[in-house]
Amino acid sequence: MNDIWTMMWKESKDLLFQGGWRASIRPLLLIGIMGIYLPLQFGLQWLALSPIELFVILWIPFSVIISFIGDAIAGERERHTLETLLASRISDRAILLGKVVVTVGYAWGMALGGLLLGLILVNLFRGNGGGWMFYHPFDLFLEALALSLLTCLLGASAGVLVSLRTSTVRQAQQILGIGTVVLVFGGISALQALPANFVASLTYSQFLLLVMAVIAVLDAILLGVSLVSFRRSRLILS
Amino acid sequence: MPEPIIHIEHLSRFFGTVKAVDDLSLEVPAGIVFGFLGPNGAGKTTTIHLLLGLLEPTTGQARILGFDTRTQADAIRARSGALLEFAGLYERMSAQDNLDFYGRIYQMPAPDRRARIKELLTHLELWDRRRDQVSTWSRGMKQKLAVARTLLHHPPLVFLDEPTAGFDPIAAAALREDLASLVAREGVTVFLTTHNLTEAEKLCAQVGVIRQGKLVTVGAPDELRARTGGPQAEIVGRGFTEQMLATLRERPEVAHAELHNSHLLLELRGESKMGPLVGLLVQAGAEVEEVRRGKASLEDVFLTLMEEEQR
């Protein structure tokens, strides 16, 4: 566990928060869209979790993950730091999980920050008095957050697997870009392939739970394959 | 007798038909700088990768610090330091954070880590710039920082893979000096690969020469000199003839004699006196201006070994 913390410490310093003031623009921009621009546009409707909002909650953190995670191993390889890391005592699992956790935490944390800011702004600006309003229905809000976390994990697990097998960050990002398109259309096709009466029998909440279960299984498979694929002898030769 | 810190038996690593390391057997005692010499592509880096357990050997085995490289690689990596082909520094992080990260990896408690970082950076005259991003540093400074990282957790053994490769002579000499002083101070065993023979000569108590994956020879630099050629002498003057050369070659103390321009080069057997040889030349009519004695450099030894292997 200590090793994972160590890796997370390094990742947060190296990947996300270094590079001067410009590095802070990216998260601020996204939090600004999710927490200021969209809530002010939608007003009270923002708290009612419309399909657009659900899409934003899922898509923005996922796209952040996809743009960052390609750097995980391919970036270390490109910057010639991987060999030294592999020659140290840190475990394979710690390297991999440390990178996944920080990237997921960064993207998902940004989404949470945006939602919290949006909640505060909408309540401050709604102007008609009354009590404090929260996202509703609340169970849907929780499901949307969980689904967002699982899609982040899906992007990170797939990304780290791609990053293990590519020699440059650019190559990893290209594959992940194409993979995202395949995933979206594959997901839509899979949903269309489900029997219509089965889908119609599900409540919105049950439908989300079903999607979450499928994504959770995919997460576990991809993360497992990444852990198995992380072989020092192969990485040192790549 | 204490177990050698590195014990290699018939170690081989093949990549397809290429024999990167071929039946290597070697022992390195504790507390010395061992130079692993060889031309580019000789198998030096692959050997380090095998010893760190980063690559599986095709055949043979190696024990490092008493641990088997196949089954106990984690234990080896926990107890050794490595500066490999690249410095391996995180350029967007500060020097202090780079060392701090590796200190955390090696599970050093925070106060020890801080004290050790200060000690090493001060010794290497980098302390004042510890908070700078590494990307702003010169190549020499980065390499010094990488050396500090290698020694950070007090490992009993460090692997240095061509630490001065690509440096200009002044920077290389400065880094060598820092390396020598640190190694002496820390008392670690160093496995140093290099194709820089001056470096090996200055730093190493023992050297092994590798060519095309095979160990050609191993021993102290002086032993190698003795094995591949005795003491040398150079006689500068005029009037040297083939007849004089023939006479010199018949002398028991002369192993080899040849004429280069007006320089007579002799390879001697043992610590022979030069007086009788010079006397012979003068008597035969040569005009001797200067006599210089010297030992074969490690470079001469290395080139001789490479030529012998090629034959």
What are the residue ranges in chain A where pLDDT is below 50? none
Q: Measuring CA to CA, which residue among B47, B54, B85, B48 is closest to residue B162?
A: B85
Residues of B whose CB is below 8 A from A89: 74, 77-78, 105-106
B106 touches chain A (CB under 8 A): yes
Residues of A whose CB is below 8 A from B90: 10, 13-14, 79, 81
Q: Tokens at residue A106, please? A: 């960064």
Interchain pair B90, A14: CB under 8 A: yes
C-alpha atoms less than 13 angstroms from C-alpha of A158 in its C-beta half-sphere: 26
How many residues are given for chain B?
A: 311
* Nearest neighbour of A233 by CB, restricted to B55, B88, B133: B55
Mean pLDDT, chain B, whole residue set: 87
Rg of the Cα atoms in chain A: 20
A22 touches chain B (CB under 8 A): no
Per-residue model confidence (pLDDT) at position A149? 96
3-state secondary structure at position B10: strand
Q: pTM for the full model?
A: 0.83
A·B CB contacts under 8 A: 75
State the Cα angle at B266 between B261 and B270, rounded to 5°: 170
What class has domain B6-225? Answer: alpha beta
To the nearest whole Å, the CA of B98 is away from the closest chain A CA by: 9
* Axis-axis angle for helices B221-228, B298-310 (nearest 10): 50
**Closest-CA residue of chain B to A234:** B55
Per-residue model confidence (pLDDT) at position B228? 64
Residues of B whose CB is below 8 A from A232: 53-54, 73
pLDDT of B245-266, one tens digit each?
Answer: 888 888 888 888 888 777 888 8
Q: What is the sign, positive or negative, of the torsion defined by CA atoms of A49, A54, A55, A57?
A: positive
**Closest-CA residue of chain A to B147:** A84
Residues of A whose CB is below 8 A from B133: 18
**Could you tell me if B96 and B172 are in contact, meaning their C-beta atoms sit under 8 angstroms apart?**
no
Per-residue model confidence (pLDDT) at position B137? 93
Per-residue model confidence (pLDDT) at position A127? 66
Per-residue model confidence (pLDDT) at position B220? 87
**Closest-CA residue of chain A to B84:** A84
Q: In B, residues 178-237, which contact A (CB 8 Å cutoff)?
A: none
Identity of residue A193 = A
Per-residue model confidence (pLDDT) at position B296? 64
**Closest-CA residue of chain A to B102:** A88
Rg of the Cα atoms in chain B: 24
B268-296 in b/e form (b: 16+ CB < 10 A) is beeebeeeebbeebeeeebebeebeeeeb
Q: Which residues contact B234 (CB under 8 A, 6 or more apart)?
A: B263, B264, B265, B266, B291, B292, B293, B294
Q: How many CB atoms lie within 10 A of CB B73?
A: 21
What is the ipTM score, two decimals? 0.87
Interchain pair A232, B107: CB under 8 A: no
**Closest-CA residue of chain B to A90:** B105
Alpha helices in A37-168 (DSSP H): 38-42, 51-69, 71-78, 82-86, 92-125, 138-165
**Could you tell me if B266 and B232 are in contact, meaning their C-beta atoms sit under 8 angstroms apart?**
yes
pLDDT of B123-179, one tens digit each?
Answer: 888 999 999 999 999 988 999 999 999 999 999 999 999 888 877 788 788 888 888
Average pLDDT over residues B300-309: 70
State the Cα angle at B209 between B206 and B212, rounded to 5°: 160
The residue ranges of every structural domain in chain B are 6-225, 230-295
Options 3.20.20.70, 3.10.20.30, 3.30.70.100, 1.10.490.10; CATH of B230-295:
3.30.70.100
Q: How confident is the model at residue B297 (pLDDT cuts 50, 70, 90)?
A: low
Per-residue model confidence (pLDDT) at position A196? 87
Q: Measuring CA to CA, which residue among B61, B64, B40, B43 is closest to residue B52?
A: B64
Interchain pair B91, A79: CB under 8 A: yes
* Axis-axis angle for helices A204-229, A92-125 (nearest 10): 150
* Residue B295: DSSP 8-state: -
To the nearest whole Å, the CA of A138 is away from the closest chain B CA by: 42
Give DSSP secondary structure letters for B157-186: EEEEESTTTT--HHHHHHHHHHHHHHHHHH
The residue ranges of every structural domain in chain A are 2-237
Per-residue model confidence (pLDDT) at position A128? 60
Interchain pair B54, A10: CB under 8 A: no
Cis amide leading into A137 (omega within 30): yes
B14 touches chain A (CB under 8 A): no
Residue B189's φ and ψ, nearest 5 degrees, are -90, 135
B55 touches chain A (CB under 8 A): yes
**Could you tell me if B83 and B147 are in contact, meaning their C-beta atoms sit under 8 angstroms apart?**
yes
A9 touches chain B (CB under 8 A): yes
